[in-house]
């Protein structure tokens, strides 16, 4: 349940800035409201400020400017262990000299929870991550995936309302990562926990999250649900960072409400949605997803512009065909088509015509 305004926000960053050296801001004017029970992911390239934001929320770093609020109260001056936040990091951070049970008991002892209640909570948390039989082992006697399950159980054992996770699956192989992605988001939703999750993996962000905040250079570039982020990127950075995109450079020729026409470098004209262009003469990069390019022109509307394309490469991938084309002077234009009986397998050297629905083509900043 996305927080649409700050009134029902559970976590709030309000004009937060952070500098480590007193000169450069690595977090620049961060405003973000996260709803109770929401799974929010901070996604961005390395160095974009994600971990810094999480550390400020956890209390291990202080904000240089601005306010961070939890459940309506300011927490800038509350020490980490008093914030009631569970945390999971990439490198497990389990205590190596303690058994699994002792690792889980630790956050409960810190909170002065009695023995019998402790045992009950530990059992429940271990069962939750399907590790009930491993309580007596030490971390070195567990695989990476098992250790990460224990780290997750330890973050959940004291039933925090907010859990922060920083690239928790980064060290695991692909299959295990996908299993745990599913388990973590299911657990979070079942328990009604608010999660702030950090990753640089866009697939992980799209599959797990209610909303994703795309970070670059210390700023949120776009904050939206996965489908909106993928289908309606608001700028070139987001369009390029999330999924695959074809881009063509051109100049806005005409504006008319929700449509513009763009003249490409080779003189051809295409239709697009003006996203961050607003007048003729502006330079733009138009972006179009490989799966939204039509080779069956009957599907395009009356009067739609089409382009000539030369087939350079055709790759059979089983479920889809991936075709590389030369379009408007570029030779990296990709089209993905579903493998279907009526879908032609194109041949290198062929010249074809392509087009797309103007709604799927976005005129963005250069």
- Binding partner of residue 52 among Mg ion, ligand ADP, none, CB cut-off 5 to 8 Å per kind: ligand ADP
- Binding partner of residue 49 among Mg ion, ligand ADP, none, CB cut-off 5 to 8 Å per kind: ligand ADP
Q: Applying CB under 5 A, which part among 27-35, 50-58, 84-92, 324-332 lies near Mg ion? A: 50-58
- Binding partner of residue 44 among Mg ion, ligand ADP, none, CB cut-off 5 to 8 Å per kind: ligand ADP
Q: What is the closest distance, in whole angstroms, from the C-beta atom of residue 51 to Mg ion in the complex?
A: 3
Q: Does 172 bind ligand ADP (CB under 6 A)?
A: no
**Residue 50 or 289 having the CB closest to ligand ADP:** 50
Token pair listed for 154: 């330890």
Q: Does 51 bind ligand ADP (CB under 6 A)?
A: yes
Q: Applying CB under 6 A, which part among 41-49, 187-195, 244-252, 256-264 lies near ligand ADP? A: 41-49
Backbone phi, then psi, for 260, in 5-degree steps? Answer: -140, 160
Interaxial angle between packed helices 174-191 and 144-156, expressed in degrees from 0 to 180 and rounded to the nearest 10: 10
**Residue 51 or 101 having the CB closest to Mg ion:** 51
**Residue 68 or 354 having the CB closest to ligand ADP:** 68
Go through 235-255 and write b for each residue having 16 or more CB atoms within 10 A of its CB, e for each that does not.
bbbbbebbbebbebebebeeb
Residues in contact with 230: Cβ distance below 8 Å, sequence separation at least 6, in sequence order: 206, 242, 243
**Residue 18 or 324 having the CB closest to Mg ion:** 18
Q: Check: CB of residue 196 under 8 Å from CB of residue 11.
A: yes
**Residue 51 or 103 having the CB closest to Mg ion:** 51
Rounded-to-integer distance, Cα 260 and Cα 303, Å: 14
Residues in contact with 124: Cβ distance below 8 Å, sequence separation at least 6, in sequence order: none
Q: Does 50 bind ligand ADP (CB under 6 A)?
A: yes
Q: Which of 48, 148, 181, 209 binds ligand ADP (CB under 6 A)?
A: 48
**Residue 92 or 333 having the CB closest to ligand ADP:** 92
Token pair listed for 241: 């960072």
Q: Which of 6, 8, 15, 20 binds ligand ADP (CB under 6 A)?
A: 20
> Looking at the chain, how many residues does it have?
366
Q: Does 47 bind ligand ADP (CB under 6 A)?
A: yes
Question: If you search the block for the tokens 């390395």, which residue do you land on?
Answer: 46
Query: Positive or negative, the Cα torsion across 75, 76, 78, 82?
Result: positive
- Count of CB atoms situated within 10 Å of the CB of 107: 19
Query: Positive or negative, the Cα torsion across 142, 145, 151, 157?
Result: negative
Q: What is the closest distance, in whole angstroms, from the C-beta atom of residue 167 to ligand ADP in the complex?
A: 8
Instruction: Give burial (CB, 10 Å; 0-12/13-18/19+) of 18.
Output: buried
Q: What is the closest distance, in whole angstroms, from the C-beta atom of residue 16 to ligand ADP in the complex?
A: 13
**Residue 45 or 96 having the CB closest to Mg ion:** 45
Q: How many residues bind ligand ADP (CB under 6 A)?
A: 10
Q: Which of 33, 41, 48, 51 binds Mg ion (CB under 5 A)?
A: 51
Q: Where does this chain bind ligand ADP (CB under 6 A)?
A: 20, 26, 44, 46-52
Site of interaction with Mg ion (CB under 5 A): 51
């Amino acid at each position: 349940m996305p927080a649409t305004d700050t009134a029902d926000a559970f976590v709030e960053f309000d004009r937060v800035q952070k500098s480590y050296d007193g000169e450069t801001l690595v977090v620049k004017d961060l405003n973000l409201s996260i709803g109770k029970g929401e799974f929010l992911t901070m996604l961005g390239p390395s160095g974009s400020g994600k971990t810094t934001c999480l550390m400020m929320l956890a209390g291990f770093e202080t904000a240089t400017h601005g306010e961070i609020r939890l459940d309506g109260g300011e927490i800038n001056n509350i020490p980490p262990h008093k914030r009631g936040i569970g945390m999971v990091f990439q490198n497990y951070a389990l205590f190596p000299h303690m058994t699994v049970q002792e690792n889980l008991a630790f956050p409960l002892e810190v909170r002065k929870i009695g023995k019998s209640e402790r045992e009950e909570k530990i059992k429940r948390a271990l069962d939750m991550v399907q590790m009930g039989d491993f309580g007596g082992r030490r971390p070195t006697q567990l695989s990476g995936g098992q250790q990460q399950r224990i780290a997750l159980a330890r973050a959940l054992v004291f039933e925090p309302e907010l859990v922060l996770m920083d690239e928790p699956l980064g060290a695991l192989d692909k299959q295990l990562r996908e299993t745990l992605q599913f388990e973590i988001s299911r657990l979070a939703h079942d328990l009604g926990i608010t999660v702030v999750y950090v990753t640089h993996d866009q697939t992980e962000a799209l599959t797990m999250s209610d909303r994703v905040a795309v970070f670059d250079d210390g700023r949120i570039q776009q904050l939206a649900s996965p489908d909106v982020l993928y289908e309606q990127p608001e700028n070139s950075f987001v369009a390029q960072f999330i999924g695959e995109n074809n881009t063509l450079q051109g100049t806005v020729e005409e504006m008319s409400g929700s449509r513009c026409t763009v003249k490409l470098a080779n003189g051809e004209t295409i239709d697009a949605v003006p996203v961050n262009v607003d007048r003729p003469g502006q330079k733009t990069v138009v972006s179009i997803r490989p799966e939204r390019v039509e080779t069956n022109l009957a599907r395009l509307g009356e009067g739609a512009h089409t382009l000539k394309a030369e087939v350079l490469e055709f790759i059979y991938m089983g479920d889809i065909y991936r075709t590389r084309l030369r379009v408007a002077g570029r030779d990296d234009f990709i089209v993905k088509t579903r493998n279907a009986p009526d879908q032609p397998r194109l041949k290198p050297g062929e010249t074809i015509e392509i087009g797309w629905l103007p709604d799927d083509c976005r005129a963005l900043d250069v």
